[in-house]
Homo-oligomer: A and B are copies of this chain.
């Protein structure tokens, strides 16, 4: 069987069109965000919406829970959909909700989304106080049940402490190195070394604010960055987490940034004159462009085996090791 293709972070405005485009782009598995600011009860409504998609389009998508589901998806020409939270808001103040969410299929949870959370500090706060008391226990519980700690939107000290506290490898599902493009959301060399030294995974983001040159970033530049990252961190710890927000209206990026916590407009990585979603680079407009990444990686000097790893095998190996109960 050919190597699988996995995009380990999307938040699209889901539709039959996109599910079909995932098949067209050869995306065998996708990790989708189902919470930015939702309470537990609100996340259940999002899960119900997904159940309805699965019921309506069984030939295109199904709920993924294990690495084996990626292989099943690939064999059947479908896409396995894995759930994740970008914020711990759905577990509220209740550590027992981690296992409940895992039982409902949630496989990734960010400890923070930009702001201070009950668990850790987000990358937009001025002071980073690291993991909280609840945060340390939540990491242990996530380790126990098989929910991956994701620090994509966390501040550095919190991230380093999570890497250290976690007894299983963690992930930064969608970010790029700040040595390539300096952005609040991109990650320092120190963080990326600590992450990958501990067996963790970095998913490269295609969100224009994380790209050198923004929407004008070239495929060459992106793939040369990946080559440099491979030389620093090992190609086997790298994957894709495109952060693709396909077909979303700008009201959604306002929701992502402001939730219900802010009465002033927070522009996040945008600005008052450009508050919406930035345009995608021409070579990664939507799910159909996934094959362009393969061509780019090969042109940047990666072997087919290395490219297959970055485009899916590495995440699959990580899924196999991460989603079951700790042994």
Contacts and interface: CB of A to CB of B under 8 A. Distances in A.
A199 to B, nearest CB: 25
Interface in A26-56: 40-41, 44-45, 47-48, 51-52
Interface in A42-82: 44-45, 47-48, 51-52
A103 B100 contact: no
Interface in A94-129: 94, 96-97, 99-100, 103-105
A283 B133 CA distance: 51
B44 A40 contact: yes
Contacts of A47: 100
Given A103-B103, A103-B104, A104-B103, A96 B41 contact: no
A100 B51 contact: yes
Interface of A is mostly: helix
A97 B51 contact: no
Contact of A104 (B41, B51, B96, B104): B104
Contact of A44 (B48, B51, B100, B105): B100
A48 B104 contact: no
B48 A97 contact: yes
A97 B49 CA distance: 11
Contacts of A40: 41, 44
B48 A99 contact: yes
9 contacts: A40-B44, A48-B94, A48-B96, A48-B97, A48-B99, A51-B96, A51-B99, A103-B104, A103-B105
Given A51-B100, A52-B96, 9 more contacts: A40-B41, A41-B41, A44-B97, A48-B96, A48-B99, A48-B100, A103-B103, A103-B105, A104-B104
